Structure 1
């Protein structure tokens, strides 16, 4: 039995991670940790588990093996350090940290403790993208030379996103991390340089962080990556991926090419999907992969080093926004 404590009681914890974890045999949700007892109890109630407000108490529980951190980015570093100090593994939602320094401290903590850190980036686990990867590997579109991702929402689902001190940044850190990981997944190469344009067009009264960004990434093998990411998309969500080859192209529209779509203008979300979001967006497969890795000791498709290296591109993108020039990406760990 693998005991998992979920750190966070917000949207992603309630709608994705908790329902996914509850489906796995041999997994026990040992607790839910939130900033208030009321929030913790509301999230923990359907799973008949403990509601806590102290991460250290969750990590100290002998029935807990891993902390699943689904909390704002300012919580990621201390939560991973607490997990490591108690000899517990950690799963951390994207972005891994607010910056490279925090990511390196997280990796150092788990290395010193001999524990594991998994990076909960769902994009490489999206079923449609796995099918696309098979088609590319089979040579069906020739040699890949350009990849493109569009990830957009009307606004974040919680006010803390608008506070750069807590979130670490805006749409680049929150949304472009998805697009960048898609581009790497299909470029099959390390990113070398990035040029970024960004601005705050819709939410100027709420944040100084960027709500819109466009990144162009050049990979070491010559592939061009394009990332269009925003908190400024009116009316619905966007999650589209394109792979261009010398003999064809692939388009994956993960939201709009569904037989049913209902758009709520006030909430800015599209619902319901005919396939549950935790399946269509890869969260179920992602968490299952992490649990299998813990059981077998096998390497993970998405560990802490992946999250750290995505932040290296984010760091270069922010430098590009400031300088107005294409920037080199600092050395990656992969």
Structure 2
């Protein structure tokens, strides 16, 4: 059965990733695009053959032919959009960060629970093909017990001015970039984050924002593994998207910017897997959105429920406190008493 989609947002991520991906999914049909201005909503809708466009979020998500609300707007709109979707009985997909704060994310999850709807957290990193293959190798014991994980995510400048306004974005490079790195590290450590330290600075964009443009986080997991996250808006002239997993019997390196050549070094030999595949597939968005719609249709758990996004925000808030106090912080536990 075809799912009717309302895409909330018409910026870079909507037009570069989500709208193209939905156009490739057989049982998905985008029926409305909502944006801040009629011009941007109409432009995105016409580009992707979407029949309706609007600036009215509430009425658009409540339309009878909408089943799923895909939130690809700035973070200050995430909670409102998900709450409106839940009130209308619609499932929601929300890009990272789930909210600007843990409190906002909790509001979203509470709204979904009351309504009996679902909230999927659109974190693409675990859906990247090279990351998935690396995880299979780790789970197969190819590099022994994982004890260190590292992620580097950096850009030179955010793609829109709203990122520099903490009221709209919620923060700086930690909330925008480190959420990816935290989830990568958690995914491979396969354990909750117990404590975190952080060093933050604003070195490049201090004339445009009070938020940090550079961050280095260290994570300690419940199983003893160590994680390191290097994230920035300050990487002049280049991007960075590299991951490393170190085990007792080998290591894995992934360079996401070269369509993910995957290098595995272990006692069984050394391999490199070049993956010359297009961006939508290489970055995991097509697989991620397909997976969400399949999970919704079958009623099965997804690999990235909204609760995962809440857990990442708990780590983010602990990291910000650690940077402010200069002391390692314990990550708050969830309602079941388990760290993020």
The match for 2:53 is 51
The match for 1:328 is 330
- Quick one: distance in 2 between partners of 1:34 and 1:11? 12
Q: Does the CA contact (< 8 Å) of 2:82 and 2:108 recur in 1?
A: yes
TM-score, normalised via structure 1 length: 0.94
- Quick one: distance in 2 between partners of 1:289 and 1:196? 33
* 2:232 maps to 1:219: no
- Quick one: distance in 2 between partners of 1:211 and 1:176? 11
The match for 2:297 is 295
SS of equivalent residue, structure 2 residue 257 = coil
SS of equivalent residue, structure 1 residue 155 = coil
Bigger drift between 220-229 and 129-138 goes to 129-138
The match for 2:65 is 63
Deviation by residue 1:166-192 (Cα, 9 ceiling, x = unmatched): 000000000000000000100000000
SS of equivalent residue, structure 1 residue 169 = coil
The match for 1:262 is none
- Quick one: distance in 1 between partners of 2:82 and 2:93? 8
TM-score, normalised via structure 2 length: 0.93
- Quick one: distance in 2 between partners of 1:145 and 1:169? 30
The match for 1:22 is 23
SS of equivalent residue, structure 1 residue 154 = coil
The match for 2:236 is 234
The match for 2:249 is 247
The match for 2:11 is 10
Cα shift at 1:58: 1.3
The match for 1:130 is 132
- Quick one: distance in 1 between partners of 2:48 and 2:231? 35
Bigger drift between 45-54 and 86-95 goes to 45-54
Cα shift at 1:26: 1.7
| Structure 2: gaps spanning 5 or more residues | 262-274
- Quick one: distance in 2 between partners of 1:88 and 1:243? 38
- Quick one: distance in 2 between partners of 1:156 and 1:117? 26
SS of equivalent residue, structure 1 residue 92 = strand
Count of aligned pairs between the two proteins: 321
- Quick one: distance in 2 between partners of 1:163 and 1:73? 11
Cα shift at 1:289: 0.5
Cα shift at 1:236: 1.5
Match of 2:287 among 285, 288, 297: 285
- Quick one: distance in 2 between partners of 1:226 and 1:128? 20
Cα shift at 1:274: 5.1
- Quick one: distance in 1 between partners of 2:147 and 2:311? 22
Match of 1:101 among 103, 107, 126: 103
Deviation by residue 1:60-109 (Cα, 9 ceiling, x = unmatched): 21110010000000000000110011000110000000000000000000
Cα shift at 1:138: 1.4
- Quick one: distance in 2 between partners of 1:58 and 1:19? 20
- Quick one: distance in 2 between partners of 1:323 and 1:102? 24
The match for 2:269 is none
- Quick one: distance in 2 between partners of 1:293 and 1:89? 11
Deviation by residue 1:25-55 (Cα, 9 ceiling, x = unmatched): 1211010000110000110002322111111
Alignment of 1:256-275 (within 5 A): 256=258, 275=277
Moved over 6 A (4+): none
